[in-house]
Amino acid sequence: VQGVTLTLASGGELPSIAYGTAHIKDADTILEAIRAGYRHIDTAVLYDNHLAVGDAIRRSGLPRGEVFLTTKVGFFPSGLHAIWRWILDMHEGSAGISVAAGKGREQAALRAALQDLGVDQIDLCLLHSPFTGFLELLGAFLPHRLGRAKPFKWQPLRKISASVRQLLQWVGGVLGMSPEAAADVRRLSWEQLEAAQSDGLCRFIGVSNYDAALLAELADAKVFPAVNQIEAHTMFQNRETRVYCEEHGVAV
């Protein structure tokens, strides 16, 4: 289960096979994964299961250094009304209406995560999404939400998801936040992670669901993302982003 270890450009190693805990709030289930051999646990503020993850790690009896721990912060656009978070029902839990999963609160969310997990430091902290406005969030998330509800329509939805996202981004740019303002919001979120790493709250920092263009926005950042957690498989190879990451030393 431990699989291949990736060497990060910033130093250190990342177990490439992780146990994802979305929708899992039972510590016993996570503990069984650790006992089965998983040494990389992936969680997020959005999943609302940090207490369970921390409990499972402690009960495993393994030294802290033997379990690589990843969490994610900053999923929702800043100011997204709780009603919309509830309607979208991202992970059918209290985090669906929690402001802790929003942008602009990354460092505070990470400190709360450390307390809930019962650890002094996170191995890897990721920005969970690049979303800065509601329409962008809806465009990226809606195909996944509908695909989960109606699996037989998944492939057609996947094919149009990029077009839907582009359309909603365009509308959002006209009616709401400009691309420049959106980039500034993402930069401020990234600076919060840079500060968190500098303060020793996490060893490595990275992003999730970023494409090549979004990564390029961080080209002159103090710390470039060590990791980009993205969707990539036979039906969606995400080649442009993967090539960019390879050329710039970002682990995928």
Name which CATH class applies to 5-133+186-247.
alpha beta
pLDDT of residue 104: 82
What residues form DSSP beta bridges with 40? 68
Angle (deg, nearest 10), helices 50-60 and 106-117: 40
Residues near 224 by Cβ (< 8 Å), separated by ≥ 6?
Answer: 9, 218, 248, 249, 250
Cβ count within 10 A of residue 42 = 21
Residue tagged active-site, from 19, 38, 47, 244: 47
- Predicted confidence (pLDDT) at residue 151 exceeds the cutoff of 50: no
Q: What is residue 187's three-state secondary structure?
A: helix
pLDDT tens by residue, 207-244 = 999 999 999 999 999 999 999 999 887 777 888 999 99
* Exposure class string for 168-198: b at 16+ Cβ within 10 A, else e: bbeebbeeebeeeebbebbeebbebbeebbe
Residue range(s) occupied by CATH 3.20.20.100 in the chain: 5-133+186-247
Q: pTM (2 decimals)?
A: 0.85
Higher pLDDT, 166 or 42: 42
Q: What is residue 98's three-state secondary structure?
A: coil
pLDDT tens by residue, 67-118 = 999 999 998 777 665 555 555 555 554 544 455 667 888 999 999 999 999 9
38 catalytic residue (yes or no): no
Cβ count within 10 A of residue 167 = 13
